[in-house]
Amino acid sequence: MNPHPDKPADPRFVEIFNLVKAYPNPYGEAVRVVDGYDLVMREGEVVSVIGHSGCGKSTVLTMVAGLNEITAGSIAVGGREIDGPGPDRAVVFQSPCLLPWMTAFQNVMLGVDRVYAHGTKQQRKEIVEYYLAAVGLADARDKYPREMSGGMQQRVGIARAIALKPRMLLLDEPFGRLDSLTRMDLQDVILNILDRERITTMIITHDVDEAIYMSDRVCMMTNGPNARVGQLLDLPFARPRNRAAVLEHPLYYELRGALVSFLEQQDHRVPARESAQMEAGWDDTLHMVEALNETELEEEPIDETATHTENQLVGAGV
């Protein structure tokens, strides 16, 4: 099922550069919720995004989906800068938003009809059945949303997204409303599909274990406003994932600890100890760099003689 078996993975399939989102603020200057977010994703890679509630994870994801306007910066998928939503990107939110008067089959068919308009009716039916089976709903194809549990509904949502053959999958806390057993089932459902079809995936989660189990790297966001990528953590686990093997990996607890402590660190507001120790040091780098950049701009047309003096101090006669 690999759509491009021979093509090597594009190392910069998704490029998010200096992304900014400012929301207007009726009481003053616009608030930059996200400010300078950078992320490069390899084709087929699964990246999870973690960060405290309200830091701007969904804001980033909806901008990548093309559903939320960008204030500044750029997002390119597959070498093309995005401009609004497109069939190359599919989104799954926490609640699947199924049409209540349609069966599981019909809900998935809705998108397939649009994307495979040129296919025969039989082909389209097979595609829908294939993806319903992939999410474990072969026997529930004729059920209506009200007849399905939350987990089953979310399976339909996932089948609907993946049946569109997107090149990128965007998952915003897709299991947020599910109990932990259902959650684990669905994690495996998605991983199985991703192992078969190389879909570059961004998944937002609040669950560090889920982040570790599902992804190739974890993107940790700093607290907002002005949220950005704090650091990235590469995960050394092989694919296809095996839950027991991941849990038993010698580094599992170290990596988990790194994620948890990053979140704790972001949480802790005015660190008393830090302010006490501030007396032992200080940091005016920001101001100095701004000042230097200003003088740099002023002095842009460099005087020929200046290049011969080794530095400003010597030049100033000191």
Please report, as ranges, the residues that interact with ligand ATP according to CB under 6 A. 23, 33, 51, 53-59, 224
Q: Which does 181 bind (CB under 5 to 8 A by kind): Mg ion, other proteins, ligand ATP, none?
A: none
- What is the Cβ-side half-sphere exposure of residue 61, based on CA atoms within 13 angstroms? 29
Tokens representing residue 312 in the block: 């400003």
Report if residue 225 touches other proteins, rule: CB under 8 A.
Answer: no
Query: Of the candidates 234, 248, 300, 304, which one interacts with other proteins according to CB under 8 A?
Result: 234
Task: Tell me how far, at minimum, the Cβ of 94 lies from Mg ion, in Å.
Answer: 8
To the nearest 10°, the Cα dihedral for 131, 136, 141, 144? -110
* Count of residues that interact with other proteins, criterion CB under 8 A: 56
Residues sharing a CB contact under 8 Å with residue 73, sequence separation 6 or more, in sequence order: 16, 17, 18, 19, 20, 36, 37
Query: Of the candidates 24, 282, 301, 304, which one interacts with other proteins according to CB under 8 A?
Result: 282
Report if residue 54 touches other proteins, rule: CB under 8 A.
Answer: no
Task: Tell me how far, at minimum, the Cβ of 175 lies from ligand ATP, in Å.
Answer: 13
Instruction: With residue 298 as reference, give the H or E element that holds it.
Output: helix 285-298
Report if residue 2 touches other proteins, rule: CB under 8 A.
Answer: no
Per CB under 8 A, contacts with other proteins among 165-224 are: 217, 220
Query: Of the candidates 39, 90, 132, 199, which one interacts with other proteins according to CB under 8 A?
Result: 39
As beta bridge partners, residue 176 has none
Cα–Cα dist 143/82, whole Å: 36
Residues sharing a CB contact under 8 Å with residue 179, sequence separation 6 or more, in sequence order: 151
Report if residue 74 touches other proteins, rule: CB under 8 A.
Answer: no
Report if residue 314 touches other proteins, rule: CB under 8 A.
Answer: yes
Tokens representing residue 241 in the block: 């994932």
Report if residue 301 touches other proteins, rule: CB under 8 A.
Answer: no
User: Which residues in this chain contact Mg ion in the complex, by CB under 5 A?
Assistant: 58
To the nearest 10°, the Cα dihedral for 141, 145, 150, 152? 0
Q: Name the residue nearer to ligand ATP (CB basis): 29 or 300.
A: 29
Task: Tell me how far, at minimum, the Cβ of 172 lies from ligand ATP, in Å.
Answer: 7
Cα–Cα dist 170/155, whole Å: 15
Task: Tell me how far, at minimum, the Cβ of 106 lies from other proteins, in Å.
Answer: 42
Tokens representing residue 189 in the block: 């459902």
Task: Tell me how far, at minimum, the Cβ of 54 lies from ligand ATP, in Å.
Answer: 4
Q: Which residue has the tokens 């004729």?
A: 142
Task: Tell me how far, at minimum, the Cβ of 231 lies from other proteins, in Å.
Answer: 5
Cα–Cα dist 160/164, whole Å: 7
For helices 121-134 and 104-115, the axis angle rounded to 10 degrees is 130
Q: Which does 99 bind (CB under 5 to 8 A by kind): Mg ion, ligand ATP, other proteins, none?
A: none
Main-chain dihedrals φ then ψ at residue 267, nearest 5 degrees: -70, -35
Cα–Cα dist 73/83, whole Å: 13
Report if residue 277 touches other proteins, rule: CB under 8 A.
Answer: yes
The CB-nearest residue to Mg ion is 58
CA angle at residue 316 from 313 to 318, to 5 degrees?
60
Binding site for other proteins (CB under 8 A): 11-12, 36, 38-40, 42, 217, 220, 228-236, 251, 254-255, 257-258, 260-262, 264-266, 268, 271, 273-274, 277-285, 288-289, 291-292, 294-295, 307, 310-314, 316, 318
